[in-house]
Amino acid sequence: MLVKMQLSLPTEARYVGMMRNVANCVMSDLGVPEEASDDIQLAVTEACANAVRHSDVGEYIVHLAVGDEQCEVEVVDMGSGFDPQEIELRGEDVESGRGLWLMQELVDELHFVRADDGTHVKLRKRWGDLLDVAAAR
């Protein structure tokens, strides 16, 4: 089964939590393993918080696709954004960029794409191995 949705959210901090709750609800209803769901929720929170911080157009878009063994999220900041080539994922002890490092640690794939319509942060998390472990118990 594959569930896809797209939300356009105002660049206000209170909607970051709402997006996290939406992701949690969808993944819970689809039986995503809790460990994977927790990772995705935190990564989505970080990506949305960055969009709120860096967007200058008043909104951003979140695409969420949840399947049987993976989740794909794309957060599109339609403002001037940042240059993905200048990002250095430095680690947890650095104040600026900590959210980027955290996203990298939480998901299997993280990509930044600068396009004419803004900055795209693409996240992918797989949990097929977690399903195999749960079935073996």
| CA distance between the termini of the chain | 24
Provide the domain count of the chain: 1
Nearest alpha carbon to residue 54 among 26, 79, 28, 83: 79
Name the residue range of residue 82's domain. 3-136
Nearest alpha carbon to residue 77 among 123, 41, 113: 113
Mean pLDDT, rounded, for 5-14: 95
**Mind listing the pLDDT tens digit for each residue in 33-47?**
999 999 999 999 999
18: domain CATH number is: 3.30.565.10
**Mind listing the pLDDT tens digit for each residue in 114-137?**
888 888 999 999 998 765 544 555
